[in-house]
A and B are shown apart, each in its own frame.
Chain A
Amino acid sequence: DTAVSQTPKYLVTQMGNDKSIKCEQNLGHDTMYWYKQDSKKFLKIMFSYNNKELIINETVPNRFSPKSPDKAHLNLHINSLELGDSAVYFCASSQGPGTGELFFGEGSRLTVL
């Protein structure tokens, strides 16, 4: 049983398209996160939700819209994709906001052509 699972694992798409990445955790955690890892392997926080409520919203273009239908799910929708959006997107969860360690999903590698 995968604790934090993301789909799809790979996405290849054209500039200007819209795409979504889904994340689910079965750890019973209250808090979920989206991180972006660029080509230099730097992990940067994008968003966090605690029990369906947005608690972190970093300086991210508003083409990125997270949605949390319940505390076990956090999705990321990206409109009008740009070349610079190419990266690996990691979903993570923690017991509570800033509580305990982060558990990461396997990542979704997005390539924008």
Chain B
Amino acid sequence: GQNIDQPTEMTATEGAIVQINCTYQTSGFNGLFWYQQHAGEAPTFLSYNVLDGLEEKGRFSSFLSRSKGYSYLLLKELQMKDSASYLCAVRGSGTYKYIFGTGTRLKVLA
């Protein structure tokens, strides 16, 4: 079966660092994606990992461990505009599907 787990909600303070975890069990693996979705808007692509390790993109970094079925998204220097849902998605091997987790709603407080 396919299972992707994320915490439902997180709260953090402006200027802080937050780590959003994602664990997955899927039939095959061919990449993990993170998306940001503001309320009432479309998901937008943040980062992609296919090999183990850390990918950094400005204030956002994403880490992958394939052996542990684990990824995290790290957001630094949090801003109010980072309040959104963060979706982890896995692309299976030999399949065209992108399977999404339930998303983590992040609230950034002043």
Contact = CB atoms under 8 A, between A and B. Distances in A.
Contacts, number: 55
Given A101-B45, A104-B44, A41 B103 contact: yes
B96 A98 contact: yes
B67 interface: no
A56 to B, nearest CB: 6
Contacts of A101: 33, 45, 48
Interface string B38-76: 000111110010000000000000000000000000000
A102 B87 contact: no
Nearest to A6: B42
A41 B104 CA distance: 10
Given A31-B96, A98-B97, A43 B42 contact: no
Interface string A35-56: 1000011111100101000011
A90 interface: yes
Please classify the interface of chain A as helix (H, G, I), strand (E, B), loop, or mixed, using the class held by over half of its residues: strand
16 contacts: A31-B96, A35-B100, A42-B100, A42-B102, A43-B89, A44-B100, A45-B97, A56-B96, A98-B91, A102-B89, A103-B45, A104-B44, A105-B42, A106-B41, A106-B42, A107-B41
Given A102-B33, A104-B43, 14 more contacts: A4-B42, A35-B100, A41-B102, A42-B100, A42-B103, A43-B87, A43-B89, A44-B100, A45-B97, A56-B96, A90-B43, A98-B91, A101-B33, A107-B41
Interface of B: 30, 33, 35, 37, 41-45, 48, 85, 87, 89, 91, 95-100, 102-103, 105
Interface of A: 4, 31, 33, 35, 40-45, 48, 50, 55-56, 90, 97-98, 101-107
